Amino acid sequence: QADARLRRFLKDAGPAYKADRDQMGIDGTSRLSADLKFGTIAPRRVWLEARAAIGETAGGMSFENELIWREFSYSTLWDVPTILTTPFQSDFEGFPWRDDENGWQAWVDGLTGYPVVDASARQLRAEGYVHNRARMVSASFLTKDLMIDFRRGERHYFHYLTDGDLAQNTAGWQWTAGCGCDPQPYFRIFNPVSQGERFDPNGDYVRKWLPELRGMPSEFIHHPWDAPDFASPRLCERREDPVGPPGLSAQSAWGMHRLPSK
């Protein structure tokens, strides 16, 4: 099956990988992550076959770059094993994470009110897999909007992911939270609305995982609360205790905790 997935990817999605890899509503990735994690296919073989089949294309070079990032995560864990429990950047060890059990449970259950965040939560528990772009949006929302410790999200994902890998999961969560090796900057916050509009423009990903929004016009699919006569208490129950506009609630805390100049 791993062989078939690789061949299918190189033939179909591979050449357009750079353009399509972030689009949540289409099959634009290799879906080889679980195979690589369990060793049913070797990364060296994936690299060599990709180089031979699509190596000269933009998609091929982009795919090779992702394989390099995968190896970089292993190298980082080998050199700094403490990242399994503490931030790579020690300055963030004292960050004032919030103790918000209502926010946590809404995020886990896919009931935050933000469609991409909620779709990713439900995909995780249904499939043991989440599209990479949706993973980043979800992790950013937990750590930089709800301001809940990235380690809780990391453990939750690792529990469900079929491709759960200590090096990749740890590196990904710390990168998004802004405290890892070569992290996404602390001030970069993924807006779940604009990310959805850009990377799921027709709402296909959201509609697949949120049946309560399947009849929502695409114009409002990523901000359904703006739709005329919209009412879905189950989806938007958190809106009675809003976290605020995406990023606003966390900006001041993250700004005050910025790393000192070196």
Query: Which CATH number does the domain housing residue 99 bear?
Result: 1.10.579.10
Using the predicted structure, report yes or no on whether residue 241 has a pLDDT greater than 90: no
Please report which confidence band the pLDDT of residue 238 belongs to, taking 50, 70 and 90 as the band edges.
Answer: very low
Domain co-membership, 53 together with 118: no
Q: Say whether pTM exceeds 0.95.
A: no
Which residues form the domain of 217? Answer: 85-262
Q: Average pLDDT in the 79-84 region?
A: 96
Q: Residue 240's pLDDT is what?
A: 43
Give me 198's structure tokens.
Answer: 């850009």
Domain co-membership, 53 together with 100: no
Q: Residue 187's pLDDT is what?
A: 67
CA dihedral (126, 127, 128, 134) in degrees, to 10, reads -90
Domain co-membership, 53 together with 160: no
- pLDDT single digits (tens) 20-39: 999 999 999 999 999 999 99
Q: What percentage of residues in the chain have a pLDDT greater than 70?
A: 85
- Give the span between the Cα atoms of 204 and 23, in whole angstroms: 10
Domain co-membership, 256 together with 209: yes
Contacts of 87 (CB under 8 A, 6+ apart): 93, 95, 174, 177, 179, 180
Domain co-membership, 96 together with 73: no
Is the separation of the CB atoms in 157 and 169 below 8 Å?
yes
Out of 79, 114, 137, a domain closes at 79
Domain co-membership, 257 together with 145: yes
Using the predicted structure, report yes or no on whether residue 136 has a pLDDT greater than 90: yes
- Give the span between the Cα atoms of 229 and 103, in whole angstroms: 26
Q: Average pLDDT in the 189-212 region?
A: 96
Q: What percentage of residues in the chain have a pLDDT greater than 90?
A: 79
- pLDDT single digits (tens) 100-117: 999 999 999 999 999 999
Is the separation of the CB atoms in 176 and 198 below 8 Å?
no
Domain co-membership, 172 together with 208: yes
Q: Average pLDDT in the 183-187 region?
A: 63
- Give the span between the Cα atoms of 231 and 225, in whole angstroms: 8
Contacts of 163 (CB under 8 A, 6+ apart): 33, 34, 36, 37, 128, 129
Is the separation of the CB atoms in 133 and 195 below 8 Å?
yes
Averaged pLDDT of the chain: 88
Q: Residue 71's pLDDT is what?
A: 96
Domain co-membership, 28 together with 91: no
Closest by CA to 74, choosing from 177, 168, 178, is 168
Please report which confidence band the pLDDT of residue 244 belongs to, taking 50, 70 and 90 as the band edges.
Answer: very low
Please report which confidence band the pLDDT of residue 260 belongs to, taking 50, 70 and 90 as the band edges.
Answer: very low
- Give the span between the Cα atoms of 46 and 166, in whole angstroms: 21
Residue 190: CB atoms within 10 Å: 21
Domain co-membership, 104 together with 191: yes
- Give the span between the Cα atoms of 201 and 239, in whole angstroms: 23
Out of 79, 104, 130, a domain closes at 79
What's the CATH code of the domain at 45? 1.25.40.80
Domain co-membership, 70 together with 93: no
Q: How many domains does the chain have?
A: 2
- Give the span between the Cα atoms of 199 and 28, in whole angstroms: 12
Out of 79, 113, 136, a domain closes at 79
Residue 135: CB atoms within 10 Å: 21
Least confident of 26-30, 84-88, 237-241: 237-241
Please report which confidence band the pLDDT of residue 182 belongs to, taking 50, 70 and 90 as the band edges.
Answer: confident
Using the predicted structure, report yes or no on whether residue 257 has a pLDDT greater than 60: no
Domain co-membership, 106 together with 16: no
Domain co-membership, 92 together with 199: yes
Q: Residue 251's pLDDT is what?
A: 46
Q: Residue 188's pLDDT is what?
A: 79
Instruction: Let me know how long the chain is.
Output: 262
